[in-house]
Structure 1
Amino acid sequence: MKWRLTGRYLASVVLIVVIVIFINILVVAGIFIQQSQSPQYPFQEGDASAEAITRSFRKEIFMSESGMAITGQGKETLERNDAWVQILDENGKQIYGYRVPLEAKTKYTPMDVVQTYKYMEKELMSTVFIGEKQGNGERYSYLIGFQNPYLERNILTYDIRKVGRFLQVGILTVLCVDGFIALCIAYLFSKRLTRPLSALIEGIKQLAHKNYQVRYETKGIYKDVFYNVNVLTEELQASELERKKLDRMKEEWIANISHDIKTPLASIQGYAEMMRDKDYDFTAEEMRDYAEIIERKSHYLKDVIEDLNLSTRLRNKGLTLNLKSVNIVSLVRNAVIDTLNDTRYGSRNIDFRYSDEMILVEADDILIRRAVANLIYNAVVHNDEDVAVEVSVEKERDFVRIAVEDHGTGIKKEELERIFDRYYRGTSTGELHKGSGLGMAIAHDIVKTHGGEIHVESELRSGTRIEILLHT
């Protein structure tokens, strides 16, 4: 892109120079073309000029028995150029004439010859040129008169110093004119080049002020720039919408988690105050019940804090994996057993299947177990108690597939896109199973940190299937 723009600027400069040179060449060429094509042009040169015709006419003069004469070609030349000829002897007397006007003299003195050559003969309406022909040991003069009223001849005398100054002024004038032409052309080209740049600068200012409605038509020399600005606008607009959506989710999550934390804190604070109050006389059994409630609520708060810490470290890549060879089948089986050992989910139907008894994977066993447990927990809390959950481990070529599937309520399409977002908590979560809202996001980040993949498929009222793919 950079070289393309540079090339266009260079091309514009070269084009300006070429145009100016072309104008100069065109003017000079026009002068010469007009000279060569128009016999009436006053500065005509070459074979068609009057002087050239006069010089070459001696070839058309020859000695005949009756004296001097001209060839047929000579007569044709005179007729074509509307001219006449007189041949004079050494005494200035006419010895031959062709198409000579009646008013012409038949004898010329040396002064007459000079006057005839220097000035246009008004009586003859002719401009006369003089030539010489030698023959038979004698010298003959001939006068050729051109009856062209536009043809003039002037005798020029000049001072070389004045001519030098004139040439200096002329060259300076030409340079000024060429410079003016170049400036005009450069101005037109600069307007063409800078007008889109002004629009681009204004558009970038709008983007800086978070106005993402900037759109350009992709045409002209900056079409690639316009296209990239449009792409940038779309990306910034999408990022802004995503940021606003994330902010809303954070606000909702903070509101929800604050509400959820207040409940166990209120229980802990209430029971602690009751146990400390001297007005109450609790039995040892009651004290143990209250202590159990406080302990359970404390564990809940601890889990929330650990989830926050783990999620932050995973997202910021601040967690170092403790990789080792792990039997993934045993790991997933233990995660299933831990879920069933939870008194809240002991009655749930969780089926575990596997393709091989031993499938080794290089992984951080604690984190992978946490990810699998989160998926199982998600399948349990989002479905009714009679919904069965199927957990399977299968080895396929060079990777292992861990799947958690249920045939329960499923996930709405609009929620399916957000299931792995931080702070998102599904709407079907029961009141008794409120968590930090980071479980699925943590599972996703753990799998990605291990270089694996995680996919979810779900259909409302048909169930959900979440798969983890890890390289063996």
Structure 2
Amino acid sequence: MKMSFRIALHFVLSLLLMLFLLGLSMMFIEEIVPESNKNFNQAPLFGIIVFVVFAISYGWYLGRPLRHLISWIRQLAEGDYSVPDKIQRSYQPHNHQMKKPYQLYQDVLLNVWTLTNTLQENELKKQQLDELKKEWIAGISHDLKTPLTYINGYSTMLLSPHYQWTEEEKEQFLKEIHAKSIHLQELIQDLNLSLQLDENKIPLNLKKVDIIEFVRRVVADAANDPRAKDDQIEFYTYHERAETEIDEKLFKRALQNLMMNAIIHNPPGTTIQVSILVSSQVQIVIQDNGKGMDKETVDNLFVKYYRGTPTDAPAEGTGLGMSIVKQLISVHKGTIDVHSQLNKGTTVTISLPRHLAST
């Protein structure tokens, strides 16, 4: 509406200016044309000339920004998300205004400018995601290949007719094969679960549970893991009982992933504290005093395919773990927040709605 008003006002003022100039011109002609030639009326011809000049000038004045705008939109449609130089030069940053005659279309131009910036950001994010996918594919290929190499190697050794292995050696080989097969199974489960979550094909089997006792059991399982033997794992809560609705299998998966991250990615001797706060919602806080994470890692922690380590470095998991955790919390209508600093530890806070009343 503002643009229409500006164009209409500009047209009226320009038309009045043309009529004023035409009147002055006619008065000038009356003065300079000899009396003997006044029987020839030159006013219509002169008026037509003035009108044509006005129309050409006005059309150029209005059409030039439109031509640049149309060219800009065509450029965006072709995938070029840069701002044309002529448009950039028309903007005056000191007063946040466009130069004339671009002011007539300022609303449209600024909106297209905003659209261009958004498309630039989306294109950059797409390129970054594509790069993450490439790195992730290289990483997951390595993760799948490594346990298969172990399984193939140990099984070949067991089947070799050239050497007689002791029972202890055979048992050790079988333990390694079993461990690597479990790791492969976990990788495949991560991939399947991620695809199912992306396609919303995971039905929630909600049950009323005591979330205090549920989390206590998950923490106890993590504390009994051999990888946590040197860590100090603590559980705190002021509440004896708090009931809510969760899918026990899926929510346990999310908590286990967070607990094992705190164990695996921190040095031995790390203290891990798990606490539960109950108010209008249930808050589960997992806090450690480990090595922490830098800002880039925290910002990308829930980005799918982000591994946080170069592909040639040893890394456990698929790069889907934290993405899956966030998706599992989200399907429970909850949120997850992570705060971390290098050498100062990490705090993960899960907030769940209170589906049912608690005591």
Q: Same fold (TM over 0.5)?
A: yes
Counterpart code for 2:110 = Y
1:191 aligns with 2:60: yes
Distance 2:56 2:214 in 1: 76
Partners in 1 of 2:204 and 2:235 — Cα distance?
27
Which structure is higher in helix share? 2
Match of 2:94 in 1: none
In the alignment, what sits opposite 1:413?
Answer: 295
Note the alpha carbon deviations across 1:318-376, whole angstroms, 9 max, x for none.
43333332322222122212223333334432111122122122332222222221211
User: Counterpart of 1:461?
Assistant: 343
* Aligned position for 1:264: 147
The gaps in structure 2 that reach 5 residues or longer are 32-38, 92-96, 355-359
Shift of 1:458: 1.6
Residues 193-232 of structure 1 mapped to structure 2, 5 A cutoff: 193-207=62-76, 208-214=78-84, 216=88, 217=91, 218-219=97-98, 220-232=103-115
Paired residues of 1:381 and 1:433 also in contact (CA < 8 A): no
Inter-partner Cα distance in structure 2 for 1:373 and 1:323: 18
Give secondary structure in 2 for the equivalent of 1:383. Answer: coil
Q: Could you tell me which of 334, 353, 356 is aligned with 2:239?
A: 356
1:182 Cα offset (Å)? 3.4
- 1:438-458 CA-to-partner distances (Å, cap 9, x unmatched) read 222221222233332211122
Change (3 A) 1:324 1:231: same
Q: 1:297, 1:313 → 2: CA distance?
A: 24
Instruction: Find the aligned partners of 1:227 and 1:193 in 2 and give their Cα distance.
Output: 17
Larger RCO: 1 or 2 (CA < 8 Å, sep 6+): 2
Paired amino acid for 2:105:
Y
User: Kindly, what percent of the aligned residue pairs are identical?
Assistant: 36
Larger radius of gyration: 1
CA RMSD of the aligned region, Å?
Answer: 3.4
Say if 1:407 and 1:181 are closer, same or farther in 2 by CA, change over 3 A. Answer: same
Hey, what does 1:471 align to over in structure 2? 353
Distance 1:261 1:464 in 2: 29
Amino acid at match of 1:264: P
Letter in 1 for 2:189: E
Task: Confirm or deny: 8 A CA contact 2:144 2:184 kept in the other structure.
Answer: yes
User: Quick one: distance in 1 between partners of 2:249 and 2:47?
Assistant: 82
SS state at 1:335 partner: helix
Which runs of 5 or more structure 1 residues have no equivalent in the other structure?
35-40, 42-165
**1:80-159 alignment to 2 at 5 Å?**
none
Question: Contact (CA 8 Å) 2:232, 2:270: kept in 1 or not?
Answer: yes
Deviation at residue 213 of structure 1 after TM alignment: 5.0
Q: Secondary structure at the match of 1:223?
A: helix
Q: Report if the CA contact (8 A) 1:250-1:423 is conserved.
A: yes
1:434 matched to 2:316? yes
* Match of residue 422, structure 1, among 295, 301, 304: 304
Cα distance in 2 for partners of 1:10, 1:318 equals 56
With normalisation by structure 1, the TM-score equals 0.61
For 1:165-210, what per-residue CA distance to the aligned partner results, in whole angstroms no more than 9, with x for missing partners?
x9xx97xx86665554333323222212221122223333444343
Equivalent residues of 1:12, 1:189 under 8 A apart? no
* C-alpha contact (below 8 Å) 1:339/1:346 kept by paired residues: no
The CA deviation at 1:379 is 1.0
Q: 1:182 to 1:316 in 2, by over 3 A?
A: farther
Match of 1:448 among 330, 348, 356: 330
Measure the CA separation in 1 of the matches of 2:10 and 2:308: 62
Q: Which residue type is aligned with residue 386 of structure 1?
A: G
The amino acid across from 1:210 in the alignment is D
Give distance in 2, aligned partners of 1:18 and 1:410.
72
Mapped contact 1:249–1:423 kept (Cα < 8 A): yes
TM-score (norm 2): 0.79
Structure 2 residue 181 is the aligned partner of structure 1 residue 181: no
